[in-house]
Chains A and B, each alone.
Chain A
Amino acid sequence: MLQETSTVDARVMGPEGLAALVDALAGAGYRVVGPTVRDGAIVLDEIASADELPHGWTAEQDAATYRLARRDDEQVFGWAVGPHSWKKELFPSRVRLLRVSGPQNGNALAVEEEAPPERPLAIFGARSCDLHAIAIQDRVFTGGPYVERDYAQRRAGAFVVVVNCGVPGGTCFCTSMGTGPRSEGGYDLALTEVLEGGHRYVVEVGSDRGRELLEALPVQPAHEEDLAASLRVTDEAARRMGRRLDTVGLPELLAGNREHPRFADVAERCLTCGNCVLACPTCFCSSVEEVNDLVDGSAERWRTWDTCFSIDHSYIHGGSVRRSARSRYRQWLTHKFGTWFDQFGTSGCVGCGRCITWCPVGIDVTEELTAIRATDGEVERANA
């Protein structure tokens, strides 16, 4: 929670400040990626100006439901996260890792590592849940004994502008996961869009370079009333979460219920399509493909997104360990909410609700986990 004192490093800017901020980032050499409306959804893409932001748009979200709609005000950020998450930028779905050619200049196996992207990334408009998801992937890719080179290169120097949520979605449960709606750190600048008392943005400074950039923009000092209004925005959002989840003892609950009949129940609905994995901001499974050039005999190694829902994810010795849909759903759910703690020290879920919204059959993780908790210890009964 923000301290309501004048020691908070914050400014206020009018709606025109948003355009100035985007221009300043582009001018400083960043590749600015932010939310924009496209293909019937609010997605993330490179933006050239603040005009491309979703002014006056919102999205109605529920299980298996996403519907873009017009707002009756001009809020720019009056919606909850869409299908894209920031892993699209930091951990792209297809990335070339290496180029490998045969003997060249005396080198028996010439290996060329891929160069980092030319321009650093400016993350414009991440939500608090998404920032937590980035921190989770930071741990996976850079927090262990081995560093994922491509991720680290994209992450290093990325400028982060977070937007604190005012309009939660029908599937949001960040408050249950302790990841929002207000961001508490890990950003350069944090914007809260305030309508009450005039459309403006309260901008909190999170870093020196954030302050430096901000001071070149048309900003005013933030008064107590501005700060209080910004707090009311997120407090209100916290009261209107679409879902809730009791997270107490969740890892132990899942470890103790590996044969729970609910998994067989979900399996009857789950298509193992992997949409949840695609939409999830923390899912990180990948594969490596060898791509051959038939002309010069060189090869490239590409890293691609993968999913534990695919049947060959667990392929070994002529067969897959997890053949049934039941076992694959169990893997995903128990990893996300349980064994992620064993492997990386935190939960894998940030409560963004994307998996619920984008599941074509509307499977709701909060509902499934609640059901397992309610019948803790239940196992399949043999026919009497």
Chain B
Amino acid sequence: MAVSASAEAQTRGVMTPVPYRVRSRASETADTWTLELEPLGDAVLPRAGQFDMLYAHGVGEVPISTSGDHGGDGHLTHTIRAVGPVTRALCGLDEGAVVGVRGPFGNEWPLAGAVGGDLLVIAGGIGLAPLRPAIRHALSRRADYGAVAVLLGARTPGDLLFVQEVEEWRSRLDAEVDVTVDAAAVGWHGRVGLVTTLIPGAVVDPASATAFVCGPEIMMVFVVRALLERGLPVERIWLSMERNMRCGVGHCGHCQLGPKLICRDGPVFRADEMMELMEVREL
């Protein structure tokens, strides 16, 4: 089993998947699962921010961000929300099932550029999945960064992802974790309110902080405005964008947002590149 590109990989078409086996499937919430996959042939090695095209044989393909690190054995971690036929099929796979993978595609969270300053990570809903590898990276190289603050928003406490891991982050003395939900049952002792309400109190210095934001698009628009109000410069705010994708390689034309191809120019974009486009309706 090769972790580096084989001769076959050199000639393989960009639309041809490689086989991966489901190593485990864990339920995160009522409609979200995390699949761990191991390569059966050539490995696909996404970095934090990138995505793979996952292929469910007989059903189709979807783009899913990596939500973990590929480690030394080229395994993949993908957190998937079951919202359509392909994602439902993927979320229903048992251990040992085989899927196809193409990738990695897209660009990365600019962790290197954030070194030396504070890091503010803001995730809404399933947006935490593409951000988890970046958070893990920063926490594993803790001395590279100043203050690290993670702000999470979700619909209800039952929709929070990676609950155990988030608790581990929260229990660290060198990281701040703040959580809020849109609504909760009585008994919830945490915050109820918009994720933007967490921004004024986050313990980061706007002068040196870099922000990584991922979540529903309208949430990201509100978050960027709140970050700008807090004093972060727009060039240090990064968003992960999403659009319909059929190929992942810049050929199918579906993922366009104005001049940008999300698969090729993104999915991670600097806020100043995106804000003007996000504010145009039906673009």
Rounded to whole angstroms, the CA-CA distance of A107 and B41 in the bound complex is: 10
Residue among A259, A290, A314, A326 making CB contact with B60, cutoff 8 Å: A290
**Partner-contacting stretch, out of A170-178, A182-190, A238-246, A280-288:** A280-288
A147 touches B14 (CB 8 A): yes
Mark each residue of chain B from 231 to 256: 1 if its CB lies under 8 Å from any CB of chain A, else 0: 00000000000111011011111101
Decide if A292 is an interface residue (CB 8 Å cutoff): yes
B256 touches A108 (CB 8 A): no
Rounded to whole angstroms, the CA-CA distance of A184 and B60 in the bound complex is: 44
A-B contact pairs, 22 of them (CB 8 A): A97-B15, A140-B251, A144-B264, A149-B14, A255-B259, A284-B251, A286-B246, A286-B247, A287-B254, A288-B60, A290-B60, A292-B58, A308-B253, A315-B244, A316-B243, A316-B244, A317-B216, A321-B243, A322-B282, A326-B282, A331-B283, A335-B256
- Assess A144 versus B250: contact at CB under 8 Å? Given A98-B15, A323-B282, A335-B256: yes
Decide if B13 is an interface residue (CB 8 Å cutoff): yes
- Assess A146 versus B249: contact at CB under 8 Å? Given A100-B57, A314-B243: yes
B258 touches A339 (CB 8 A): yes
Decide if A342 is an interface residue (CB 8 Å cutoff): yes
Residues on B with C-beta less than 8 A from A327 are 281-283
Rounded to whole angstroms, the CA-CA distance of A317 and B125 in the bound complex is: 13
- Assess A149 versus B283: contact at CB under 8 Å? Given A286-B246, A287-B252, A343-B259: no
Rounded to whole angstroms, the CA-CA distance of A145 and B247 in the bound complex is: 13
Decide if A113 is an interface residue (CB 8 Å cutoff): yes
A109 touches B19 (CB 8 A): yes
Rounded to whole angstroms, the CA-CA distance of A299 and B264 in the bound complex is: 28
Which partner residue on chain B sits nearest A141 by CB separation? B251
Residue among B40, B252, B282, B283 making CB contact with A285, cutoff 8 Å: B252
Residue among A146, A312, A321 making CB contact with B251, cutoff 8 Å: A146
Residue among B12, B13, B59, B282 making CB contact with A97, cutoff 8 Å: B13
Which partner residue on chain B sits nearest A91 by CB separation? B251
Decide if B280 is an interface residue (CB 8 Å cutoff): yes
A284 touches B253 (CB 8 A): yes
Residue among A109, A292, A303, A308 making CB contact with B98, cutoff 8 Å: A109
Rounded to whole angstroms, the CA-CA distance of A15 and B100 in the bound complex is: 55
Decide if B17 is an interface residue (CB 8 Å cutoff): yes
Rounded to whole angstroms, the CA-CA distance of A241 and B40 in the bound complex is: 59
B57 touches A286 (CB 8 A): no
Tell me how many residue pairs across A and B have CB atoms closer than 8 Å: 123
Min Cβ gap B218→A in Å is 11
A149 touches B253 (CB 8 A): no
Decide if A297 is an interface residue (CB 8 Å cutoff): yes
The 5 closest A-B pairs by CB, nearest first: A342-B259, A327-B282, A285-B253, A149-B13, A146-B249
Residues on A with C-beta less than 8 A from B120 are none
Rounded to whole angstroms, the CA-CA distance of A103 and B96 in the bound complex is: 12
The size bracket of the interface on A is: 35 or more
Residues on B with C-beta less than 8 A from A4 are none
Residues on B with C-beta less than 8 A from A145 are 249-250, 264
Which partner residue on chain A sits nearest B14 by CB separation? A146
- Chain B residues within CB distance 8 Å of chain A: 12-17, 19, 21, 40, 57-61, 83, 98-100, 216, 242-244, 246-247, 249-254, 256, 258-261, 264, 280-283
A318 touches B282 (CB 8 A): no
- Chain A residues within CB distance 8 Å of chain B: 97-98, 100, 102-103, 107-109, 111, 113, 140-141, 144-149, 255, 258-259, 284-288, 290, 292, 297, 299, 301, 303, 306, 308, 312-318, 321-324, 326-327, 331, 334-335, 338-339, 342-343
Rounded to whole angstroms, the CA-CA distance of A316 and B99 in the bound complex is: 23
A301 touches B254 (CB 8 A): no
Min Cβ gap B51→A in Å is 14
Residues on B with C-beta less than 8 A from A144 are 249-250, 264
Residues on A with C-beta less than 8 A from B252 are 285-288, 306
Residues on A with C-beta less than 8 A from B259 are 255, 338-339, 342-343
Residue among A102, A111, A314 making CB contact with B244, cutoff 8 Å: A314
Rounded to whole angstroms, the CA-CA distance of A181 and B204 in the bound complex is: 62
Residues on A with C-beta less than 8 A from B246 are 286-288, 306
Min Cβ gap B108→A in Å is 15
Residues on B with C-beta less than 8 A from A146 are 14, 249-251
A339 touches B280 (CB 8 A): no
Residues on B with C-beta less than 8 A from A258 are 280, 283
A343 touches B282 (CB 8 A): no
Residues on B with C-beta less than 8 A from A149 are 13-15
Residues on B with C-beta less than 8 A from A148 are 14, 251
Rounded to whole angstroms, the CA-CA distance of A98 and B17 in the bound complex is: 10
Rounded to whole angstroms, the CA-CA distance of A306 and B252 in the bound complex is: 8
Residues on A with C-beta less than 8 A from B21 are 108
- Assess A111 versus B17: contact at CB under 8 Å? Given A290-B59, A314-B244: yes
Which partner residue on chain A sits nearest B254 by CB separation? A313
Rounded to whole angstroms, the CA-CA distance of A335 and B61 in the bound complex is: 26
Residues on A with C-beta less than 8 A from B12 are 113
